[in-house]
Amino acid sequence: MPPSDAPPAPTAPPPDLPATTAQKSRSVVVSLTPARQRETWAKKAEFLLAVVGFAVDLGNVWRFPYICYQNGGGAFLIPYCVMLLFGGLPLFFLELALGQYHRCGCLTLWKRICPALK
């Protein structure tokens, strides 16, 4: 192959260029890579309803008033709501945050946290 047809050899950027120019050329390469699209919920309300639907089934909804009546009505409902606010909701959001951090579902998450659950 004649020397005029040979592709030019790659060269390093000149040392007198500022660092920002080298960073810009690197960011162009990164921006050319295709970004992977993730599915998302259309609305926050849809997400919350789906999570509540998975956590609470119809049997629990029908059974709760009966359990309230059997255990003293308001005397049961007040401590139940207190424990829900100060125990249940923080643990619920902790599980959501851990799942998002580890990028996995709840079953896989607890298997990673506590291998004895396998």
Q: Which parts are annotated binding residues for Na(+)?
A: 53, 55-56, 60
> Which residue do the tokens 């309230």 mark?
68
| Residue 20 CA: distances (Å) to CA of 14, 17, 23 | 13, 8, 5
Reported as type and span, the H/E element at residue 48 is helix 44-55
Q: What is the DSSP string of 17-29?
A: S-HHHHHHHHHHH
| Positive or negative: CA dihedral 97, 88, 85, 48 | positive
Nearest to 55 by CA among 90, 92, 97: 92
> Which tokens in the block code for residue 114?
């506590």
Which residues are part of a known binding site? 53, 55-56, 60
